Structure 1
Amino acid sequence: MVELIPALRAFARSLARDPTEADDLVQETLMKAIANTDKFQPGTRLRSWLFTIMRNSFSTRCVKANRERPGGADCVSALPWTEATQHWSSELREVMTAIRTLPRAQREVLVLVAMLGIEYDEAARICDCPIGTIKSRLNRAREQLRLALEPPAGNRGPRS
């Protein structure tokens, strides 16, 4: 399990937009996995099992959050923010923003397949859908990212 923590953190950060919430999601996933080790079926992939636990935990959190609706959010001005001084940092932020705007199902598949290198069949098991759906979601996610990140028609030079 310890070897899979970096992959779990990457997947959690694609689901939860706040890094602290993502870390909590990883911790919750590991706690649930340890508490339910008797339910793990030998011969199956541990990574798929953990990602499924995480995805289900995140979905449960979303349902609860929509139902409970806490009071006013913390003031945005209190959050630390520093403007990027390097070009690559600015571009990375653009890419991450574009990824965050993708529908959740497409974002999940993009992270699983394109970023974490998970095979289509394993991603299909994690997302509980057919392989064709995984390929379709990945294709749509890539196309939406391409459209979001390409420069305007009259400005085809390098982005700045």
Structure 2
Amino acid sequence: MTSTEFSSMVQKISKSLKPVALNLTRDADDAKDLVQETLLKALLNKDKFKAGSNLKAWLYTIMRNTFINNYNKITKRSSNIDSTEYFQYFNTDENYIAKNGAVYTFVVSDINEAIAHLNEEYRTPFMMYYIGFKYLEIAEKLNIPIGTVKNRIHIARKELKQVLKIYELNG
């Protein structure tokens, strides 16, 4: 199957993904994000799809797994961050303390410093998203368009990744 054929088939099926995503997320914006992320993963991993198998089921599986992974990330974030204060970056929960306390201290310090050095217009939406606010809630609280919120969070992540690339895992 060529890339064009695959893309065409995915595009035809993509319309049926939105109701399922909406059922999972219970939020229109999150459903759109989930569908978009599902389609991106499908297109990036088209070589893993076996021609002749059920493409729709494959896409639903990608969507379900993506939703579960995102849900787990959000609940993990929410449980480790004090949401009463936007910029309290990390709790000192014993489950997350490295065996080498000095290394842990340096890592947390570097992360906090990198976040503190973000431009305020990127840091605020990033931290709000980090502690569990949805894109729409951030847009409403900051009185900016949702697309701007997504863009600022993306830029903040990109800048943090660049600054903290010394901690990148190899392999």
TM-score w.r.t. length of structure 2: 0.42
Higher relative contact order (CA 8 A, sep 6+): 1
In our comparison, the structure showing a higher alpha carbon Rg is 2
Q: State the TM-score, normalized to the length of structure 1.
A: 0.45
